[in-house]
Amino acid sequence: MRVAIVGTGYVGLVTGACLADRGHEVVCVDVDAAKVAAITAGQAPFHEAGLPELLARHAGRNLRATTDLGAAVRASEITLVAVGTPFRGQAIDLGFVERAAREIGEALRGGTDWHTVVIRSTVVPGTTDGLVLPTLEQHSGRRAGESLGVGMNPEFLTEGTAVADFVRQDRIVIGGVDEQTRDAIDRLYAGFEGVPRVRTNPRTAEMIKYASNALLATAISFTNELANLGAALGGIDTREVMRGVHLSRYLTAQDATPAGWTAPVASFYEAGCGYGGSCLPKDVKALAAHGRAAGVPMRLLEAVDAVNRDQPARLVDLVRRRFPSLAGVPVTVLGLAFKPGTDDVRETPAKPVVEGLLEAGARVTVFDPVANGAAEGLFGPGRVAVAGSLGGAVEGASVVVLVTRWPEFAEVPALLAQSPEPPLVVDGRRMLERASVAHYDGIGLGDA
Ligand SMILES: NC(=O)c1ccc[n+]([C@@H]2O[C@H](COP(=O)([O-])OP(=O)(O)OC[C@H]3O[C@@H](n4cnc5c(N)ncnc54)[C@H](O)[C@@H]3O)[C@@H](O)[C@H]2O)c1
């Protein structure tokens, strides 16, 4: 198919590159000329495994990029919208979606060939049929169902594994205002025959996306709240608690292999220093705000958000338990990205952790395998030192705080093995074994 994608961030570009790899003719549109230039040159504007290879294969061939939205839309039969939907103040900001719908509508004015417009951005239920559809109709002069299809096809990719997630989709949710729209979205995914599909209306599709993220966030805050109680009571390791919980047949896929192998289906039930990123925090807040506006307060989700906001401070508390005064103490924070495999630092728990340590007077050094460049933007110039290597980061530290589960950080015990004065390692992700370093503490690990 001839596909235009408006908004070429994580979702738009990964979708575009993966669809190009499936043989579609894709044009990516962005208002950011630097991003467009990078894609045109075959360079990924952000860190994502597998993306450079896809760009090398398809950029300049069946994957092109432009700032000219009108030309891209007119040359296509289907337009996907993947612009940002940030949470601002009290509610989701749909300004980028509305502007994109207006510009797409204007591009479609005068044409007669059927065109399908599909929202890929995460938008609160009611946005596609209540805002996008009328905006498109008003600016195109067309009627939905006549020469205009309007749909919603949520994205479920996870940054860090986004390309692999697209290739091995677990579901395809197809929300359309009519059958013709649903069929058009379906054709985009030719070649994904074995993947379960949910064909529904746009509102239900929008809600499926929020329900999915809200459930994951709830699992995380639930476990973190248990971890905090376990630590306060003492003698409870929440990692073991959750392993025990996982073995329930409700949460574990019982595989009938001879080895009796079982696979946890809920890896989000892990104690940690809270969720971050561009999705879970804002999506939980946006759904809760949408509920309030509809007169249905989402009390559970409000609590999920509140627990998550407090969780990074628990990590600072663990440091202060051993170092009541942090004035001048050299503390190294490992990980700035909100999760491994990405350089995305939006809403990263590393920010409140570092700010808490700075407030307490610590001398903070940070290190991230790919997101070091974000340090100045996060903390301001000169407030933290940025280490160039993991070894350099931990050398001379009195405390090492692990915030992101980068696989590289498994090297920390080996790096500290010969240290004359081994630091306290505070593990915000429970990724290191307790006995692997001289002084260890971690989230959800109460005193014996
Ligand atoms: N990042 C994720 O992991 C993820 C996963 C699933 C869903 N989502 C959702 O997908 C949407 C996009 O997220 P993202 O992380 O890719 O955002 P992003 O900020 O990385 O990218 C959005 C892009 O849209 C561009 N843009 C904004 N207005 C435009 C316009 N009128 N015309 C052309 N380009 C325009 C911006 O310049 C930017 O490059 C959001 O709704 C998000 O909630 C994100």
Residue 239 has a pLDDT of 87
Q: Are 112 and 37 in contact (CB under 8 A)?
A: no
136 part of a folded domain: yes
Please report whether residue 134 resides in a domain: yes
Residue 374 lies in a domain: yes
Q: Residues with beta carbon inside 6 Å of ligand 1?
A: 6-12, 29-32, 35, 69, 82-85, 96, 99-100, 121-122, 155, 157, 159, 278-279
Choosing from 165, 200, 235, the residue where a domain stops is 200
* Residues 405 and 437 reside in one and the same domain: yes
Q: Find out whether 73 and 102 touch, Cβ atoms under 8 Å.
A: no
**86: pLDDT strictly greater than 80:** yes
The size of the chain, in residues, is 448
As for how many domains the chain has, the answer is: 2
Q: Residues of 330-339 as b/e, b for ≥16 C-beta within 10 angstroms?
A: bbbbbbbbbb
Phi/psi of residue 264, nearest 5 degrees? -65, 135
Residue whose Cα lies nearest atom 41 of ligand 1: it is 121
pLDDT in tens, 298-329: 999 999 999 999 999 999 999 999 999 999 99
Q: So what's the pLDDT on residue 89?
A: 87
Place of tokens 């070894």: 391
What average pLDDT score do residues 136-155 get? 97
CA angle 207, 211, 212 (to 5 degrees): 120
Ligand 1 atom nearest to CA at 67? 33
Report the SS3 class of residue 330.
strand
Distance between CA atoms of residues 209 and 171, nearest Å: 11
d(CA 423, CA 394) in angstroms, rounded, equals 8
Average pLDDT in the 253-260 region?
54
For 222-240, write each residue's pLDDT tens digit: 999 999 999 999 999 998 8
Same domain, 230 and 119: no
Q: In what order do the strands lie in the sheet with 25-29?
A: 63-66, 25-29, 2-6, 78-81, 115-119, 148-152, 172-176, 197-200
Counting residues of the chain whose pLDDT is more than 90, the rounded percentage is 90
Single pTM value for the model: 0.94
> What is the extent of the structural domain holding 314?
224-442
Q: Which of 66, 79, 155 to mutate to test the pocket of ligand 1 (most atoms within 8 A of CB)?
A: 155
User: Are residues 285 and 168 both part of a single domain?
Assistant: no
Same domain, 122 and 250: no
For all residues of the chain together, what is the average pLDDT?
94
Tell how far the Cα of 10 is from the centroid of ligand 1, in angstroms.
7
136 CA from centroid of ligand 1 (Å): 19
pLDDT at 253: 67
- pLDDT tens-digit readout, 340-357: 999 999 999 999 999 999
Section 61-83 average pLDDT: 98
Report the pLDDT value the prediction gives residue 448, as an integer from 0 to 100.
59
| Residue 248 confidence (pLDDT) | 79
Residues 145 and 264 in one domain: no
Task: Give the position, in ligand 1's atom list, of the atom nearest the Cα of 278.
Answer: 1
Whether residues 9 and 143 share a domain: the answer is: yes
Residue 218 lies in a domain: no
Query: Does residue 272 sit in the same domain as residue 345?
Result: yes
**Same domain for 38 and 96?**
yes
For atom 1 of ligand 1, the residue with the nearest CA is 10
Report the pLDDT averaged over residues 141-169.
Answer: 95
**pLDDT for 153-165, tens place per residue?**
999 999 999 999 9
Q: Once rounded to an integer, what is the mean pLDDT over residues 131-152?
A: 97
Q: Is residue 206 part of a domain?
A: no
Atom nearest to 154 CA in ligand 1: 7
Same domain, 368 and 420: yes
Q: Are residues 242 and 289 in the same domain?
A: yes
What CATH number does residue 152 fall under? 3.40.50.720
Asked whether residue 212 is domain-assigned, the answer is no
Specify if 238 maps to a domain. Answer: yes
| Residue 290 and residue 379 in one domain | yes
Of ligand 1's listed atoms, the one at least distance from the Cα of 279 is 43
Q: For residue 263, tell me if it sits in a domain.
A: yes
Whether 273 is catalytic:
no
Looking at residue 260, its pLDDT comes to 52
Instruction: Report in angstroms the alpha-carbon separations of 7 from 13, 69, 101, 228, 295.
Output: 8, 10, 12, 40, 33
Same domain, 99 and 155: yes
Q: What is the pLDDT of residue 352?
A: 98
pLDDT tens digits, one per residue of 262-301: 555 556 678 899 999 999 999 999 999 999 999 999 999 9
- Report how far residue 219's alpha carbon sits from residue 271's, in angstroms, rounded to the nearest whole number: 10
* Ligand 1 centroid to residue 67 C-alpha, Å: 15
Quick: pLDDT tens for 420-443: 999 999 999 999 999 999 999 999
